Copies of this chain bind each other. A is one copy, B any other.
Amino acid sequence: MPELRRDPVTSRWIIIAVERAKRPDDFRAVPSVPKAKECPFCEGFERATPPEIAAVRTSGGRNEPGWRVRVVPNKFPALMIEGDLDRRGEGMYDIMNGVGAHEVIIESPKHLLSLTEMAEESLREVFRMYRERLLDLRRDSRMVYGLLFKNVGEAAGASLEHTHSQLIVTPIVPLRVQTEIDRSKLYFEYRGRCLLCDMVKQELQSGIRLVCETQQFVSFEPFASRFPFETHIIPKRHHSHFESIDEGAMGELASILRTTMLRIEKAVNHPPYNYLIHTSPLNTPPLEHYHWHFEIIPRITRVAGFEWGTGFYINPVPPEHAAQYLREVRIP
């Protein structure tokens, strides 16, 4: 059973996931990403993954070919679905059991390397699956927060190249999300408006950090971007929970994410990247003060001692320049 441990100085929780453990000597070399031939995410290799949790299918039965999107448990889960939290102490330290969920969303039966190779309609099916998984897991009261994310490229932590995303559900609200919610609440109490709604308005008005937009979404470089070409996508209208997204919005999200990633891939030559969705905790009603959004983080600068020590980031590219570059780059 994985263990959640809290650092008393920073309040930061970490997960000790022995199921993912290697012997210490295995750290001598970072393993490289296996190539196509042996890919367990490809259609026809369904037996190479743990049994599937959900799928969108054209044909076939469970764990058989014929799927278009497929969800399986992570083979090396960071958190486990069985058991209770059992919060306890060890002297001054806090521990609880690593209860939660860790799923992989395989986005295509084909061995595609990027979501930009997918049709918008296929991407929309991925988002529909994101929504379905959150709605399913929120019925379990131990499941408090669902983080959907994607790692692309070895430098961004991917261990398989076949296009996929992941969902980790934690039994507590993560510190980083709680900070965003707390800050947004403070703003709401002070101004009576949602912080991110105001930010969308300011960005649309100034336009200097915009990448692209649809009727319902805007894609922009944040004012305080941590990294060159960091890009956020956010619904223009207020929505606190990703899983309340409707069909029309999913189609637009597929379109704006695909266009944004095409621009980033062209501008920075297919960089390794992460994306993640910040949304409200599963067990909360609609929140007036929090607003879900996508964060795309190209991994082209290194995090070093200064960043670890301070929480500051040094960004050599002003987001206004990055935005202009992304707007002007020619895409198919």
Contact = CB atoms under 8 A, between A and B. Distances in A.
Nearest to A268: B27
A271 interface: yes
Given A7-B222, A8-B183, A10-B180, A305 B166 contact: yes
A13 B224 contact: yes
Given A183-B9, A309-B147, A271 B92 contact: no
Interface in A55-75: none
A240 to B, nearest CB: 14
A9 B196 CA distance: 8
Contact of A92 (B12, B154, B174, B198): B198
A10 B179 contact: yes
Interface stretch (A43-51, A123-131, A135-143, A313-321): A313-321
Interface in A129-188: 145, 147, 149-151, 154-158, 166, 168, 170, 174-177, 179-180, 183-184, 187
A33 to B, nearest CB: 11
A259 B216 CA distance: 58
A305 B187 CA distance: 27
Contact of A226 (B12, B92, B297): B12
> Which size class do A's interface residues fall under?
35 or more
B314 A17 contact: yes
B314 A12 contact: no
A119 to B, nearest CB: 23
State the copy count for this chain.
2
A99 interface: no
A315 B176 contact: no
Contact of A78 (B150, B179, B306): B306
A15 interface: yes
A100 to B, nearest CB: 10
Given A9-B195, A93-B223, A277-B309, 5 more contacts: A5-B224, A17-B316, A20-B316, A93-B202, A147-B309
Question: Nearest 8 CB-CB pairs, A to B?
Answer: A157-B304, A149-B305, A174-B310, A176-B311, A276-B309, A7-B224, A157-B302, A274-B305
Interface of A: 5-18, 20-22, 24, 27-30, 78, 90-93, 145, 147, 149-151, 154-158, 166, 168, 170, 174-177, 179-180, 183-184, 187, 195-196, 198-199, 202, 206, 222-226, 228-229, 267-269, 271, 274-278, 295, 297, 300, 302-306, 308-319, 321-322, 325
